[in-house]
Amino acid sequence: MDVDGKTRLYGIVGKPVSHSLSPAMHNAAFQHCGLNKIYLAFDVEDITGAMAGLRSLGIGGVSVTMPHKQAVIPLLDGIDPVAQRIGAVNTLLIRDGAIRGYNTDWIGAVQALEMIADLSAATVLLLGAGGSARAIGFGLKEKGVQVIVANRTLAKGQALAGELDCECCPLAEIDHLNVDALVNTTSVGMAPNTAATPISQTLLENIPAVMDIIYVPSETRLLREAKEVGCKTVNGMYMLLYQGVAQFELWNDCDAPVEVMREALFSRLGSSS
């Protein structure tokens, strides 16, 4: 793509961001659609200063990653109601110097889970109680899903369940639950600790669908063992893909080239999944 004086700039802000796959995904989409836009990674420590820069430079929009998803909220001119309830923002839309915050993480997670599970009248067990669990939990509630939170630290799980207005189950007692799907939002099983898994394989035997938000490795031990007992599975790459699709459509007011974005992500990871 030729960069000229009319090229519109987009990007991702966070620290660190050198590992981000978002530039590959969004630049492939911009190029495919013939848009004179480019997406770069910005390693940002001072989010307040960065926000002032975004306004003054006329940047069209950015993705927001850790550690700024909460810190950015007081600096916004407006925020989407769902992002407000989640308490975290991962997408900024900038128009005429005004910055509005959105959260597309929950959209990505729900769409990924819908690849393997019918969420109408479903009950989903959410493993973990951190920021990802919070976003996905609120997203599932938006879809009318019954959510159950299970977390290693019970008090933290109960706190999130209170905010979601849902049940919290001690991790040691999840074998008594009847659920339609399980979503692992923890980092257990992520590289380099790929031998770890958040729950034993025997607990997966009565769960039809399992999603792991981890995408390195592309098949965690949890997903491998879930497949072995007959579960449908999906990894975190699809959450990343679909949250990016939602970002693209927010920024460009047009349909995203989903297959182009998927190929850009999976080729970067060397995966054919």
Q: What is the pLDDT of residues 78-135, one digit of tens each?
A: 999 999 999 999 999 999 889 999 999 999 999 999 999 999 999 999 999 988 899 9
Average pLDDT, the chain: 93
| Burial class for 110, CB neighbours closer than 10 Å (0-12, 13-18, 19+) | buried
Say what the pLDDT of residue 2 is: 77
Q: Residues 8-103+243-269: name the CATH superfamily.
A: Leucine Dehydrogenase, chain A, domain 1 (3.40.50.10860)
In the set 69, 141, 143, 156, the catalytic residue is: 69
Say what the pLDDT of residue 273 is: 45
C-beta neighbour count of 227 within 10 angstroms: 14
Q: What percent of the chain has pLDDT over 90?
A: 85
Q: pLDDT tens, 123-176?
A: 999 999 988 899 999 999 989 999 999 999 999 999 999 999 999 999 889 998
Gap between the Cα atoms of 166 and 162, Å rounded = 7
Gap between the Cα atoms of 171 and 163, Å rounded = 19
Query: Average pLDDT for residues 192-215, to the nearest whole number?
Result: 95
In sequence order, the 6+-apart residues with CB closer than 8 A to the CB of 272 are 266
φ and ψ at residue 97, rounded to 5 degrees: 80, -5
Radius of gyration of the chain (CA): 19
Q: Is the pLDDT of residue 1 over 80?
A: no
| Burial class for 73, CB neighbours closer than 10 Å (0-12, 13-18, 19+) | middle
Q: Which CATH number fits domain 107-234: 3.40.50.1370, 3.10.20.740, 3.40.50.720, 1.10.10.10?
A: 3.40.50.720
Query: Average pLDDT for residues 72-78, to the nearest whole number?
Result: 96
Say what the pLDDT of residue 97 is: 86
96 conformational bin, left if phi > 0, alpha if psi -120 to 50, beta if neither: left
Q: Report the candidate in 1, 70, 74 with the shortest Cα–Cα distance to residue 33.
A: 1
**Do the first three CATH levels of 8-103+243-269 and 107-234 match, i.e. the same topology?**
yes
Coil/strand/helix, residue 28 = helix
Gap between the Cα atoms of 217 and 225, Å rounded = 14
User: Strands, E, within the chain: which ranges?
Assistant: 8-14, 37-43, 61-64, 78-79, 91-95, 98-102, 123-127, 146-150, 167-168, 181-184, 209-212, 232-234
Gap between the Cα atoms of 187 and 39, Å rounded = 27
Provide the pLDDT confidence category of residue 272 given band limits of 50, 70 and 90: very low
In sequence order, the 6+-apart residues with CB closer than 8 A to the CB of 51 are 72, 75, 99
Q: Catalytic annotation on 69? A: yes
- Please report, for the chain, the start and end positions of each structural domain, with discontinuous segments joined by +: 8-103+243-269, 107-234
Beta strand pairing call for 98-102 and 91-95: antiparallel
